[in-house]
Structure 1
Amino acid sequence: MNRHPRITLLAGGVGGAKLAVGLAAICEPGQLSIIGNVADDQEFHGLWVSPDIDTLTYTLAGRIDSAKGWGLADESNRVLDSLKRLGCDSWMYLGDQDLATHILRTQLRGQGIRPSVIAQRIAESLGVQSNIILPTDDRLQTRIRTPEGWLSFQEYFVREQCRPEILDIQLDGVERATATPEALAAIREADLLVIAPSNPIVSIGPILAVPGLGQAFALANAVKVAVSPLIGGATVKGPADRMLSASGYRCNNLGIADCYSDLIDGLIIDQRDQPDASALEERGLHVMTTNTLMLNDADKTRLARELLQFAQGQLTEERLAC
């Protein structure tokens, strides 16, 4: 195969955005498509906010606040401070520049423009060359049941700082959702399908749960590789470990493999988890161990290159040639 392979990445959260940057750095324009998570979306102050899609967009545009891993760099918060003085809830941080994104998104949604088109317009306006794709244009909402009752994902993650015990997780609206044609085409036409080191329950799970997308992924004639979000058997950041347990999975790389059972050909794990490799290989998975911690752009690019080499050399040279 002489052309560059078409790559589709399923991504959510900071880990997904980091790998997206690494892949974008070594891909030609238009070669990389990224299907993001929209189940964290929520309305704040009358504006429709899409945290995972915005984190992905800002990161690829080189405008992310690298210290936080989300939001825009060189941000101010005068509007939020004013809202707080007026007695409004201000636990969801929305910076002044970031608010412009949400204002535009809400205006265009009100005009009946598809959310997928809006996401692409915002990405292009910020100079992003990779294709950012929504799994569905319908509303999805991850909800977390705690001892105090049901919370939206943002209420649990941001307002409550992930403190409450997780009793259950559900995805509202998925039974009525329709997959976007862009997402279906990106999966169907890919030479390489990659699952980012994102939370498998609330970042990747909602993408694959959209009717038609999980089936398209399983049936796609592509090499399929996942990068584990665990390092040393633990999460780098966030509540993925507790969410895995609450969903009936073990918090180790075997549990990650269970999440993607019958979907992937290979799994990339951190070098500190080398002891997991033999058990994963016994399941028929190809396994690569490397340093999966992405602390800087060099780490992101290195991991992306290693991923492509793994897909090409260890999985199948006939189906994928870079």
Structure 2
Amino acid sequence: MGGEVLALSGGVGGAKLSLGLDRVLPAGALHVLANTADDFEHLGLTICPDIDTLLYTLSGRANREQGWGLEGESWNAMQALEALGGETWFRLGDRDLATHLWRSTRLAAGECLSQVTAGLAQRLGLRSHVLPMSETPVRTLVDTDEGELPFQHYFVRRRCEPAVRGFRFAGLDAAQPPPALRELLASPALEKIVICPSNPFVSVDPILQTGELWRALRDAPAPVVAVSPIVAGLALKGPAAKMMAELQIPATALGVAAHYAQAYPGLIDYFVIDSSDATLSTGIDQLGLRSIVADTIMTTTNDKERLARYCLALEGV
């Protein structure tokens, strides 16, 4: 395909499919809209975990074993900070710190997050475009049995241990997608919209709800393809399955499909599930989503490229 593609992505899982799309599409054709509700201010710096995971993955610099952070990282700054009694629960490697210092300095100088992200992408040599879901801050707050926790305190500091009751996105009412996204959605060159296999509640929901973006995606002529992050009842990365069980939502691909169908009616044309979940196809079809069975586990680069080509090959409905 020779047109433009928009992907919606959270962190590691979404970055895997984004990399596959980046590899099989012409340079510059992929636009990845990144979740920024996980962002937070730490040690005086603006940290954008999902944006950075995408930047590092698409530039070939990500730690392959972890899926996040940088390959060959060192930890001198954290060790020195720990010796001083500083907060080190959120680990920032020395090279990763340079990214946050660069970003925070540019933001303080008056650049918007889109400009800063584009500048980082250019310096890292990306073929594709990475856009923040919002120019203004949106922050995920997790309602737990221990009270409301900022997302990174729940996810990293507490290692997802508290039971989840719900989520709130502070700042969402004032948030709007970047102008470049509106231009892309209005372009006749846009051929496909892909919702990557990211956590539906804390990665995809905030993106879709920013300025009611889901309605603009639904009304765009390009078909919308969503890939389930749950395979055989398990989240391949992150706490999605645990969250679903605590929210009394079936931790299955069908449960994810039902969430999208109820929260965003008419948005998704194709819902891609793993071959191990093929028996769920009928239930997904009954929700009004067209189920597609494929091999969705992405271990190798070839896996990522194969799934990307499969998503791109699905025609409009």
Q: What TM-score do the two structures reach when normalised by structure 2?
A: 0.94
What RMSD, in angstroms, separates the aligned Cα atoms of the two structures? 1.4
Superposition map of 1:171-320 within 5 A: 171-189=169-187, 190-246=190-246, 249-261=249-261, 262-309=266-313, 311-312=314-315, 315-316=316-317
The percentage of counterpart residues that share the same residue type is: 38
Residues 188 and 221 in structure 1, CA contact (< 8 A), matched pair in contact too: no
Structure 1 residue 213, shift from structure 2 partner: 1.4
State which drifts further: 275-284 or 121-130: 275-284
Structure 1 residue 245, shift from structure 2 partner: 4.4
Distance in 1, matches of 2:230 and 2:135, equals 30
State which drifts further: 283-292 or 223-232: 283-292
Amino acid at match of 1:199: N
Q: After TM superposition, which residue ranges in structure 1, 4 or more long, deviate above 6 angstroms?
A: none
Amino acid at match of 1:263: L
Distance in 1, matches of 2:39 and 2:180, equals 19
| Secondary structure of 2:177 counterpart | coil
Superposition map of 1:1-322 within 5 A: 4-189=2-187, 190-246=190-246, 249-261=249-261, 262-309=266-313, 311-312=314-315, 315-316=316-317
Structure 1 residue 180, shift from structure 2 partner: 1.2
Distance in 2, matches of 1:170 and 1:114, equals 24
| Secondary structure of 2:164 counterpart | coil
| Secondary structure of 1:214 counterpart | helix
| Secondary structure of 1:9 counterpart | strand
Distance in 1, matches of 2:240 and 2:26, equals 32
Residues 187 and 193 in structure 1, CA contact (< 8 A), matched pair in contact too: no
Residues 64 and 72 in structure 1, CA contact (< 8 A), matched pair in contact too: yes
Residues 58 and 64 in structure 1, CA contact (< 8 A), matched pair in contact too: yes
Distance in 1, matches of 2:249 and 2:179, equals 31
State which drifts further: 62-71 or 162-171: 162-171
Distance in 2, matches of 1:168 and 1:11, equals 21
Amino acid at match of 1:58: Y
Structure 1 residue 168, shift from structure 2 partner: 2.2
Q: Deviations over 1:145-165 (max 9, x none)?
A: 222222111111111111111
Residues 134 and 183 in structure 1, CA contact (< 8 A), matched pair in contact too: no
Amino acid at match of 1:291: D
Q: Specify every segment of 5 or more residues in structure 2 that has no aligned partner in the other structure, as ranges.
A: none
Structure 1 residue 184, shift from structure 2 partner: 2.1
Q: What TM-score do the two structures reach when normalised by structure 1?
A: 0.93
Residues 249 and 258 in structure 1, CA contact (< 8 A), matched pair in contact too: no
Amino acid at match of 2:125: G
Distance in 2, matches of 1:76 and 1:125, equals 21
Q: Deviations over 1:190-249 (max 9, x none)?
A: 221110000010011110111141221121111111000011122112211233345564
Q: Specify every segment of 5 or more residues in structure 1 that has no aligned partner in the other structure, as ranges.
A: 317-322
Distance in 2, matches of 1:273 and 1:82, equals 48
Amino acid at match of 1:221: P
| Secondary structure of 2:215 counterpart | helix
Distance in 1, matches of 2:237 and 2:253, equals 16
